Structure 1
Amino acid sequence: MTKLSVNINKFATLRNSRGGNNPDVVKAAIDAQLFGADGVTVHPRPDERHIRYQDARDIKQIITTEFNIEGNCREQKFIDLVLEVKPHQVTLVPDADGQLTSDHGWDTITNADYLRDMIKTFQSAGIRVSIFVDPVIEMVEGAAKTGTDRIELYTEGFAREYLIDKEKAIAPYKAAAIRANELGLGINAGHDLDLKNLAFFAKNVPGLLEVSIGHALIADALYLGYENTIQLYKRQLV
């Protein structure tokens, strides 16, 4: 079954908007695990506008499932944090400075040498590496040449097109997944997956190992409750 990693950045956004420690981000990680999540994801950014670097250190102390830290490996501070915390997985995202949210995958051909060096740095520390890619065959093939363990398919395009033509929306992701499987790459996915589109995506992407979901899941939890929402998302992955 595909694993669900809960991105808890939005808990940190809410906490930071008021100061103090309410909601408690570490407790959000503990409860995600308690409520059935297979992992916890955080995405620290240089301005620490949501997850702080210290949050990652604190969460590592209580994690009992899988810990995934995603972020921009062009930031030395990020590299240092990951090598210090040693999560189970690091997901490399090509964010620009000040970017609101991740919105594209790596050009794995243009950045091949750079990615190869970064991936080797993290793998040498015993950390599994996933890199953010668009559902483009050439980018998947380029990713395989970098030595990465996994790719994370960037799914905003799927989520947007799903509302218009779900078969057309899923086609490039299915093709990318088939090629990734042929090349021996593990497959993760994330961005704008929700209770409406997740089951269809998971059923049609062969070899999908893990989805990382934050914004939609936390938004649903406001109405449905945190524990119930995690279970609802898990059911979409059966």
Structure 2
Amino acid sequence: MTKTRHLVSAAALLACSHAWAQAPMKPDGAWRGAVNAGLSFAKGNTDATSVNVDANAGRATQDDRLNFYLTSLYGTKKDNGVSDETANLLRLGGKYDRDLTGRVFAFGSLDAEHDKLQELDLRTVLAGGAGYHVIKNENTLFDLFSGLSYNREKFTTETRNSLEVLLGEESNHKLTETSSLHQRFAVYPNVSDGGEYRIQFDAGVTTSITRRIELKLTLSNRYQSNPLPGVKKSDTLLLTSIGYRLGPD
């Protein structure tokens, strides 16, 4: 019988009572961020290990916002003496927004992704456009946005370059005095190869444990209509991690 230990557990940590939720970021120009990590392993007939690391940093003023992120996941499995990778993923990027009026803003972003199991050596996406603050207050920031992106995908067997339309929405919510939610949904119709498209969805709930320690639950999905032969169109991640918060309250 396989004995399983999980070093990161969500159940016992969601009942904390002190307040350090920070969504959306305070517009004071100060840098804030967090570094999160999670680990799980199984020992027995099958030996399995999984490690995930997540980091983010950003600053906001009354007129602009700058954000950076990094997500990494690596996993291995050993079954009957044979070792295989179960995950080898890295995502990172940054985004800059600047308000043109009280509601309208312009943005630019650069994202990169590596996913060995999808045979994706490197995807880089440069995007820019404009958006509208549907809601903007101290507890909620909800945006609609659109623009264009240039997508370069280097797979193990081929390289693709394409122009895409970008359509999406993004929001940050302070749910309670201890918890916050961030979510983003974006569709990338392919202009260079009509009929093809990509979809991205990311959501994360963060709960304060102490003034500096937080628990984070992340759900992420990537859909591509034209992957390489033999590769599934959709990939979903569900990660739990504990992190350390940086910057002022």
Pairwise TM-score range, normalised by the shorter structure: under 0.3
Greater length-normalized contact order (CA 8 Å, ≥ 6 residues apart): 1
Q: Which has the higher helix share?
A: 1
Q: TM-score normalised to the size of structure 1? A: 0.27
Larger Rg: 2
